[in-house]
Structures are given as C-alpha cells and as structure tokens.
Structure 1
Amino acid sequence: MKTILVTCAIILRDDKVYAFQRSKNMKLPLKWEFAGGKLESNETEIDCIKREVKEELNIEIQILKRLTPVTHEYYDFKIKLIPFLANYLTGDLILKEHSNFLLVRKEELLNLDWAEADIPILTEFLSL
C-alpha cells in the first residue's frame, strides 16, 4: 500500500486553536482534524501546508515549527501526516471542504472525535 504524504497545521489564534470537521462526503466523514492536504511532487512541506490552508480555508499562516510526523494505516489507505504548529496571520476564514470548525481552548480539543492519524499529533501538541 502506497503511503500518501500529507501536511497539516495546528493553527493558533488568540490563545485558542482551530479544529476542522471533515464533511460527510470526504473519507473519514465528520471526523475532526487539523487542516492540510497532500504534498505535491514539486513543493516543500512548508509550501504545501501554506498552499493547502489558503486553498481550503482562505487564510494565511506563519509556520512556527514542525512536529513529529505520524504514519497511520487506515483500512484502505496509508498516510504520513506531517504536522506544523502555526499562527493565524490574516484572512477571513471560509470553509471550502470542511463542514464545520471550532476555535477553542487547547484542553477542549479532547472533547472531539478525531481522525485516528491526528490523535498522536494532538497528544504531542497538548504536551508542549
């Protein structure tokens, strides 16, 4: 099974964190995740996450640091999720793929039904 390389961003804004709910038409419907997307062959991880956040959410972010990547095998695909901690910079948030979002305190993230690959990233983030 081929591994799909995907970047994601934990986006901080005013001491809170964004979480995004996948739409019911996506794989892993209605699960919560950190926004991001597939790495294209001609781009760096940082270029990818900035592009994906702009395309999916209409906002600009500033990358703070890279966290530990996670490889997770779902029943029909395998993903390597490459997480970044980022600050919200500018733009009006518009959901183009997700069905919902929350901007919550860090500890409130534990109340959500996360996509499995995002859970180790969430755990690392909560320990920072």
Structure 2
Amino acid sequence: MIHVTCAIIQEADHVLVCQRSVAMALPLTWEFPGGKVEDGESKEECLIREIQEELGLEITVGKELSSVTHTYPTFEIKLYPFLCRAQGGSIRLAEHAQAIWVPWQTLNDFDWAEADKPIVAQFMQLCAEGIS
C-alpha cells in the first residue's frame, strides 16, 4: 500500500490539474498534484514539500476530504486529498507534462487517473453545494 497526498489547489472558481508525463506510471492521465508520504512526515508536510518540488508553488493546506483506496494492476494506493490555496511561487514543471487552471465545472472533461475519479466527484459536489 502506497500512501499518497494530493492537493486540490483552488483559485476563485478554478482548480489546478496536472497531466502525468509519458515517463510516469499512468502516462498522460490527469491528476491533482501531490506525492508519496515519507517516513516521519505528516500528510500536510508531504503535500507542502511535493507541491514545492514538483510545481514550484507554495501552498496552504486546508480541509482534508475523504480518502480513496484504489488497486491498480501493479500497485495499490491510498490517496488523501486536501483543499489548498496557492500562496506564492509560479508554476515550474518538474515531472508533469502540463499543469493548467480550469473551471471546476469542466473537471469531468479530463481523462483522470482512476484513483482521482472519486475525488473529482467529491470536490465537484462540494463546489455545486457552495461548500469548497
């Protein structure tokens, strides 16, 4: 079981989505950015570190949403999503093919990694209810 965090980084009615590169597992699928939790690291610390390393952004970590466990053919992950806000820096891609800001209403238009799909649905429901 791999423990992974992901950041739903919001800016007004837009959210940052990232496309995995061809060199990554699950190539060219879309995801909320994040990464593996290291030993001795909190989920929030992991997210702050990973977003800085992968995207060059500084974030504040907010509410944790419901986690998702998903089994892929060669590995299993538990994904911990958090609502976040960008606080500084500018997008600099270190791993992903692209990172773009999109209106939350268009999230279903992307080819998401399977583990992210329940998180997309959960986030869109919160937005529709005006809660996020």
TM-score range, shorter chain: over 0.9
Question: Which of these residues, 84, 88, 110, is aligned with residue 86 of structure 1?
Answer: 84
Per-residue Cα deviation, 1:48-94 (whole angstroms, up to 9, x for no partner): 00100000000011112000000000000000000000011110110
Question: Is 2:43 the counterpart of 1:45?
Answer: yes
Unmatched 5+ residue regions in structure 1?
Answer: none
Q: Are residues 1:118 and 2:119 paired?
A: no
**Aligned residues: CA RMSD:** 0.7
Letter aligned with residue 42 of structure 1: G
The aligned residue for residue 130 of structure 2 is none
Q: What secondary structure sits across from 1:118 in the alignment?
A: helix
Tell me the CA shift for residue 102 of structure 1.
1.6
Which residue is equivalent to 1:58?
56
User: Is the aligned partner of 1:99 residue 2:105?
Assistant: no
Which 5+ residue runs of structure 2 have no aligned equivalent?
127-132
Q: TM-score, normalised by structure 2?
A: 0.94
Cα deviations by residue, 1:7-43 (Å, 9 ceiling, x for unpaired): 0000012321000000001000000000000000110
Partner of 1:31: 29
SS of the residue corresponding to residue 86 of structure 1 reads strand
SS at match of 2:121: helix
Over 2 Å off, 4+ runs = none
Q: Which residue of 2 aligns with 1:7?
A: 5
How many equivalent pairs are there?
Answer: 126
Separation of aligned partners in 2, 1:63 and 1:39: 15
Mean Cα deviation higher: 8-17 or 111-120: 8-17
